[in-house]
Structure 1
Amino acid sequence: MSGGQGPIAIETRDVIKRYAGNTAVNRVSLQVKRGEFVSLLGPSGCGKTTLLRMLGGLEQPDEGTVLLSGQDVSGIPAYGRNSNMIFQQLALFPHMDVFNNIAYGLKVKKTPKAEIRKRVHDMLELVQLGDYSKRAVSQLSGGQAQRVAIARALINKPEVLLLDEPLSALDMQLRLDMQRELKRIQRDFGGTFIFVTHDQNEAMNMSDRIGVMRGGRLLQYGTPDEIYEQPVDSFVAKFIGDTNLLKVKVLGTEQGNVWVQAGGLKLAVREPATGPVLPAGSTGFLSVRYEYLRTGDAAKECVNRLEGRVTDSVYGGASIRYTLDLGGHIQLQASSLFQRGEARYMPGDTLAAGFNPEDGLLLPDDPSTDREGAL
């Protein structure tokens, strides 16, 4: 991944946007470096599209500042900014062929014809549609239409390209193909892309950094591995990847571990590398990713050893996912690599499970989460 070591391409400082008394975006500060691919991720209604529209000038913030390459553009509409946007509906011109769709922005600017031909040719090569210049839009596949829309958006060399869930209408395999293609185009073009999605896998696959939003707020902003391995709270933990969340009471610390109680279970988790330890007597959540929960013989070597009854067994090809009932209204899920010929546990079987302190994460209480067990 590019990592984005360059200067700041676009930035927000404490932006707020309200609609009819409701706060859609609440004091969001965000910096995107030049050359980065950043995803804004969150559930429907979290404010991610509103934030994107403020970045692009389609909405103006009620408070706060938007800066493009260090210049305050908060009150400048979209047509006055050197940025471009791709929506869910691609809005290609049906009466124009591929060449003229891509060339449209250059023609509006009255660019010389020779330069138009060269730049459209270069853009077609970038999106790997070199032989499609005379193709009618109606003759394009979904993925090809996506690439034409991207080429049209990039032809005027915007400082930032904003993408509002442009892959959401594609089938699963085509979405995966377009994720790889979009990342390749961004890397080869060298531009700054900001991508809105509610799909965690999409964000993880493509992004240099991810901003997780909820209720109009930016909860966490970091690299995919930072957000996956060190979520700031239980909402981020369960929204990024699959995890078990156990409601726990903190008992105290001993030799670098925090001891917690979940029902009748006493479990150890490593003290956090950064941030304060939850005090004894407080409640929180213990997060253990499905893949970090070991099963069978591998569980015997774990510090936290458990045993449960298998209530569900789902075969996924390379892996198998077990749901375990530990009693006391506690359920855990474990995802294990599955090898051909290996014994498979079925509902009703007893299965040992376990994890080590470094495989768990103690997170602060989330008032919206009121279930014990896996979420």
Structure 2
Amino acid sequence: MSSEQEPVSIETRGVSKTYGERAAVNHMSLQVKKGEFVSLLGPSGCGKTTLLRMLGGLEQPDQGSILLGGRDVTGIPAYGRNSNMIFQQLALFPHMDVFNNIAYGLKVKKLPKADIRRQVHEMLELVQLGDYGRRAVSQLSGGQAQRVAIARALINRPEVLLLDEPLSALDMQLRLDMQRELKRIQREFGGTFIFVTHDQNEAMNMSDRIGVMRAGKLLQYATPDEIYERPADSFVAKFIGDTNLLATTVLGQEANGIQVECFGYSLLVKTSEGTPVALVGARHSLSIRNEYIRLGEDANPCLNKLDGRVMEAVYGGANIRYTIQIAKGFLVQASVLHQRGASRYSPGEPIRIGFDPEDALLLSEPLLHDRVQEEGI
């Protein structure tokens, strides 16, 4: 079955939510297909948690509609929807053991005890806590508590599980472990997960699709590789991964690409699907990922070359991150694979940088990196 034919789990149609004069979510339309793991990504205050709360029925939109499993649930509160939500604070019941925390939803439904035992044990196995049923909540580690919260949320078989930054309080290694666990659980459970985060790596590691939000709007909704390789604008390019944004002016269109001027250099950018129509004299942002920039002798075969000076070299294990000044006050970042015994470039050293036409992306709008920096990215 193709992705176009897969049923939609949850959908928003022109949804808006305003607090005072501020639009937290601004006319947003979004479709999440059944069985997808989708992340909502963006800086603090972009509206991603407000959107999640509307999807779960904890907030109601001022405009637009929400459909869950094809049914219009706009105006229906959380308890009337077949969805569940996990918050940053897990809110496990401290006076109950693991088994009874997970069983709580089934007991409210007054299911037979045998059915409750069976379903709770299935959930314990799913989250790999099979022997922890009688463990007190206070005896759990952070990762174990996360798994109990997930099991409790899934026990009623929701159409959609909504997760509001549930891993943010964990240390780095445990957070990475839980990312893998959460994706495994989602895959084995077979449900739809919508995950809110401001961590780009978390979204890239876990998601089938990512929605990048800013100021209440959905800027791009696509797979991780599409967002990384073909960002919709300079904000998305800067927010997802490490990239350099250069201000360019179009010189002309050629058979094999677009010729642009940047800091006095003529550069060629290969055109592809989605490349904006290039009018001579038009100004555009040019995005070049840090890892696509080559230095020194490695830059010589590249079609596009610029000269600069090394300002900083930071060792990062597998990579060395160089900061290079290519124009007065303008810095470029390059991430170079570190090879044992290879020479490094030192601060103050003149250097040539290069990149190929297919390694740069011409964005539709003029350079917005100053505004991006103001927003704390």
The TM-score normalised by the length of structure 2 is 0.96
1:269 and 2:265 equivalent?
A: no
- Cα 1:155–1:5 shift into 2, 3 Å: farther
8 Å Cα contact 2:127-2:151 kept in structure 1: yes
CA distance in 2 between counterparts of 1:371 and 1:153 reads 39
Letter of the 2:273 counterpart: A
- Give, as a single letter, the amino acid of the residue that structure 2 aligns with 1:264: G
Distance 2:192 2:371 in 1: 40
1:360 aligns with 2:365: no
Q: Secondary structure at the match of 2:300?
A: helix
Displacement, 1:328? 3.2
Q: 1:294 to 1:264 in 2, by over 3 A?
A: same
Tell me if 1:72 matches 2:72. Answer: yes
> Deviation digits for residues 140-185 of structure 1, max 9, x if unmatched?
0000000000000000000000000000111111110100000000
In structure 2, distance between residues paired with 1:371 and 1:163:
30
Unpaired segments ≥5 residues, structure 2: none
- SS of the residue corresponding to residue 369 of structure 2 reads coil
Q: Kindly tell me: are residues 367 and 25 of structure 1, through their superposed partners in 2, closer, same or farther at Cα, counting changes over 3 Å?
A: farther
Query: Paired residue for 2:301?
Result: 301
Q: Is the 8 A contact 2:250 2:260 kept in 1?
A: yes
Residue in structure 2 matched with residue 207 of structure 1 by the alignment? 207
Whether the 8 Å contact between 1:4 and 1:36 is mirrored in structure 2 is no
Gaps of 5+ in 1: none
Distance 1:99 1:4, change over 3 A: farther
CA 1:230–1:52: 2 relative to 1, 3 Å: same
Amino acid at match of 2:364: P
Correspondences of 1:1-375 after superposition (within 5 Å): 6-365=6-365, 368-370=368-370
83-92 or 305-314: bigger deviation:
305-314
Deviation digits for residues 282-309 of structure 1, max 9, x if unmatched?
1121100000001222211100012221
Deviates more, 1:154-163 or 1:2-11: 2-11
The one-character-per-residue Cα deviations of 1:310-343 (angstroms, maximum 9, x if unpaired) are 1000111111111111123332111111111111
Aligned residues: 373
Does the 8 Å contact 1:86/1:149 carry over to 2?
Answer: yes
CA contact (8 A) 2:285 2:367 kept: no
**CA separation of 1:218/1:366 partners in 2, compared to 1, >3 Å: closer, same or farther?**
farther
Contact 1:247 1:372 in 2 (8 A): no
State the SS of the aligned residue for 1:364. Answer: coil
Matched residues in 2 for 1:361 and 1:155: separation? 46
Q: RMSD value over aligned CA atoms?
A: 1.7
Mapped contact 2:276–2:362 kept (Cα < 8 A): no
Describe the SS at the equivalent of 2:51. Answer: helix
Judge conservation of contact 1:321–1:336 (CA < 8 Å) in 2: yes
Q: CA deviation at 1:101?
A: 0.3
Deviations 1:76-117 (A, max 9, x none): 000000000000000000000000000000000001100000
Alpha-carbon deviation of 1:367? 7.3
Whole-angstrom CA distance in 2 between matches of 1:372 and 1:149: 36
Query: Take 1:354 and 1:95, find their aligned partners in 2: how far apart are those partners?
Result: 62
Distance between the aligned counterparts of 1:308 and 1:154, measured in 2? 55
Deviation per residue, 1:15-65 (Å, 9 max, x gap): 011111211101110000000000000001101111101100011111101
Give me the whole-angstrom Cα distance separating, in 2, the residues matched to 1:137 and 1:71.
37
Is the Cα contact below 8 Å between 1:46 and 1:216 reproduced in 2? yes
Q: Distance in 1 between matches of 2:88 and 2:214?
A: 21
Instruction: Give 1:3 shift.
Output: 6.6
Q: Which moved more, 1:107-116 or 1:4-13?
A: 4-13
CA distance in 2 between partners of 1:146 and 1:261 (Å):
52
Distance in 2 (alpha carbons) for counterparts of 1:256 and 1:101: 62
> Compared with structure 1, are the counterparts of its residues 298 and 229 closer, same or farther at alpha carbon in structure 2 (3 Å cutoff)?
same
- CA shift at 1:366, angstroms? 5.5
